[in-house]
Amino acid sequence: MVSFTLTTVIAAAAFFAQIAIAAPSPSVDSNGIYVKRAASCTLPSPAKTSSLSAPMTIKGTFDGGNVRYDRGKNACSGQKEGGDKDAVFLLESGATLKNVVIGANQAEGVHCKGPCNIYNTSGTTNIVGGGAKNANFGKLYRACGNCKSQYKRTVNISNVIAKNGKLLAGINSNYGDVATIKTSTNSYSSVKSICDTFEGNSNGNEPPKLTSNKSNANCKF
């Protein structure tokens, strides 16, 4: 399960895929306990940028110190499904990533290979705080549509500010994915669709879209 809570914006499969504006807010105390905080659009200003030639693999905990990370010029390939090779960070099971800024020159941001934690930037991926600005985002969350190994995935999205984007959540209904989006806690501006369903596959092909912006058994909003 993936949980987007407490002013969070990120996608596991397409993390910060050029998100326009979203709400960061420190939401975990020193003991790792969730702290309820109001959403805001105050975002860090990175002092430098690090362009990676390949994904950075994280096995333990990595604190990026609010450095901007990307994959270099022309890294973005539009909204086509990619793979692990297209990510900025590749988190192994149990890894933790915190205090990083994902730049616009990237394709798929962060990939989690299992349970992982992302702070400011069940198995459960806990994505707490973080944000992105100054780009029109394609998808806030996208369950991998063409991975070699497929599973049922669930995502909960709440306390999010999203502006100037195409899709909040994309899931594979044929695998039983469910997205629960608490629209009463979210704020949207110029977002075309809240939730789309796709027919996922394991052969690497581009998944066809089945429904768009419709509340149903898989898209609950």
The 10s digit of each residue's pLDDT in 2-19 is 544 433 333 333 333 333
* Spatial CA neighbour of 39 closest among 116, 122, 112, 128: 128
Q: How far apart are CA 31 and CA 42, in angstroms?
A: 24
pLDDT band at residue 53 using 50, 70 and 90 as cut-offs: very high
Torsions phi, psi for 207 (to 5 deg): -70, 135
Does the pLDDT at position 78 exceed 90? no
Q: What is the pLDDT of residue 107?
A: 74
How far is the C-alpha of 75 from the C-alpha of 105, rounded, in Å? 5
Looking at residue 120, what is its pLDDT?
72
- In the block, tokens 């991998």 appear at 144
Tell me the pLDDT tens digit for each residue of 82-126. Answer: 678 888 999 999 999 988 888 878 877 888 888 888 877 634 556
Residue 211 structure tokens: 């429904």
Percentage with pLDDT > 70 across the chain: 70
- Taken in order of first residue, the domains within the chain and their CATH numbers are 2-220 (2.160.20)
| Higher-scoring residue by pLDDT: 76, 62 | 62
Q: Which residues pair with 212 in a beta bridge?
A: 196
First and final CA of the chain: distance in angstroms? 17
pLDDT one-digit tens code per residue, 23-42: 344 455 555 555 555 555 66
Please tell me which residue, 27 or 70, carries the higher pLDDT value. 70
- Return phi, psi of residue 185, to 5°: -100, -5
Residue 36 CB contacts under 8 Å (≥ 6 apart), including other chains: 6, 27
Query: Tell me: the pLDDT tens digits for 127-170?
Result: 666 665 655 778 889 998 998 889 899 999 988 888 888 999 99
**Radius of gyration of the CA atoms of the chain, in A:** 16
